[in-house]
Structure 1
Amino acid sequence: MLAATRALLPNAPFVYAADYAGLPYGRKSDEELAARVPALLGRLVERFQPRLAVIACNTASTIALSHVRAALDLPIVGTVPAIKPAAALTHSGVIGVLGTEATVRQPYVDNLSARFAAGKTVLRHGSPELVTAAEARLRGETVDPAVVARAIAGLTDQPGGEAMDVIVLACTHFPLLLGELRTAAGPGVQLIDGASGIARRVAQLTAGQDWPATPTPGLAAFTRSDAIPPPPLAALRPYGIGRTETI
């Protein structure tokens, strides 16, 4: 998502914030996230004074987006599963939604399916170990193909799963494993996420605003966690990150 947004706004300053102290979001209760996400974003907004904020997490968005918008006085862009474009792409009428456990159980996903995929079959699977694998990939570690295979099997093993031809990557970590996911899903299955749509929305909300004349290296800010080490700066540089700090 950061890469897609920087492609449209190459000179915009970015702060990428990762709540490592709060991971995994997918196994937290709705009540925990509804309290944690607005509080954390409030701290970030006070510290960095951004023009807008993107909740670059499907789980946090489906649970806490309304709470954040009520608490903060700036544009907030949420990230939700790309079911609408998936419904336009499918030929078989069977769509998979691969996300965290918290995301796939949300009524928000029910509503998206009813609005944009009526008459189609929407299969869901939550894979916490795929989130862990994606974080490992970002740190440069090897990913076990069996983890990816199990995540895809969580969809294909459901009734009707053999006909699935589109999978929505409903977690912003999962594109880090795009190659492995494509291999496991097979050549007849398209994988999509919402990164390009979020990038276009950010560009729309900042249209006409002035940016620095040259690209500005971004900052990655991590909440402190003793359990999960943040990725090295070298892994973040391809996304335009020039420095990191702990908050």
Structure 2
Amino acid sequence: MADDRPLLFFDSGVGGLSVLAPTRALLPSAPLVYVADSAGFPYGTRSEDEIAARVPALLGRLAERYRPRLIVIACNTASTIALGHVRAALDVPIVGTVPAIKPAALLSQSRVIGVLGTRATVRQPYVDDLTARFAADYTVLRHGSADLVELAEARLRGDLTDPAHYRAVLDGLFGQSGGERIDVIVNACTHFPLVEAELAAAAPHPVAFVDGGPGIARRIAYLSRGQEWPGTPPAGIAVFTATPDPALRPALARYGLTQIETL
């Protein structure tokens, strides 16, 4: 019999859709459950202690309810803070999300990289470690923005957003000493690829953007190699921990998530 256990993607909001999309392209038969912890949104302004306690508890409830074959923490903030706690608590394969500093270093010609994330992510020691391992002889400038998370959520709802807001966010990188030499920006929040076109248009000069979504999709495909999938996958499920915004329904449907539930 085909295995109908889903892949479960978890984020504070809709940002993890930037990880779900490349995974769906690689594994089109995979049943999908996408969870937005909308009651806890946004994680980037919460304390490390809050996130370290909240994420494992929520994922425990979700694992009981949906019996996933694999869980993806499609959130840089939650991964850098709570990944170890989740792996210790659950007997399910867990894939985390970390800033794509290694591919950025391979791509950069100027050897000056920008890391754009939430404030909680950019201050994590994990980012220091990635920089030391893969970009030790590069200049790595960081900027944390809660505004950009809100802009990405608004764009997915179909709202118009002001280009000046994106320019203001990017000034946090380009306005730093040496920032004029940035040629690659790491989107170190899964929300940010959802507004990559807006960021590119607002940048003072052409830059490349990289994120972890495609690499995570390949990792999921590797970990699930040889597993059975349903012949016809069921409708994708979007789960919210607070009352879902009806304006998100069309966008969720574009990602194959046509069934909406509340935890």
TM interval, shorter chain, is over 0.9
Matched, 1:11 2:25: no
Q: Which residue of 2 aligns with 1:207?
A: 225
Whether contact under 8 Å (1:221, 1:244) holds in the other structure is: yes
Q: Compared with structure 1, are the counterparts of its residues 231 and 49 closer, same or farther at alpha carbon in structure 2 (3 Å cutoff)? A: farther
Tell me the TM-score normalised to structure 1 length.
Answer: 0.96
Whether contact under 8 Å (1:58, 1:103) holds in the other structure is: yes
One-letter code aligned to 2:141: L
Whether contact under 8 Å (1:222, 1:230) holds in the other structure is: no
Matched, 1:104 2:104: no
Q: Which runs of 5+ in 1 are unaligned?
A: none
Across the aligned residues of Structure 1 and Structure 2, the Cα RMSD in angstroms comes to 1.2
Alpha-carbon deviations, 1:138-173, whole Å to 9, x = none?
A: 111111211111111100000110000000001111
- Could you tell me the percent identity over the aligned residues? 65
Q: Which residue of 2 aligns with 1:84?
A: 102
In 2: Cα distance, 1:101 partner to 1:53 partner: 24
In 1: Cα distance, 2:172 partner to 2:30 partner: 39
One-letter code aligned to 1:143: T
Whether contact under 8 Å (2:200, 2:206) holds in the other structure is: no
What's the secondary structure of 1:17's corresponding residue? strand
Matches for 1:1-247 after TM superposition, within 5 Å: 1-186=19-204, 188-224=206-242, 229=245, 231-247=247-263
In 2: Cα distance, 1:217 partner to 1:11 partner: 11
In 1: Cα distance, 2:121 partner to 2:148 partner: 14
Whether contact under 8 Å (1:102, 1:126) holds in the other structure is: yes
Q: Which runs of 5+ in 2 are unaligned?
A: 1-18
How far is the alpha carbon of 1:241 from its aligned partner?
Answer: 0.8
In 1: Cα distance, 2:25 partner to 2:247 partner: 22
In 2: Cα distance, 1:56 partner to 1:218 partner: 16
State the 4+ residue runs in structure 1 displaced beyond 3 angstroms.
228-231
Alpha-carbon deviations, 1:195-228, whole Å to 9, x = none?
A: 0000001001100000011243210000015xx8
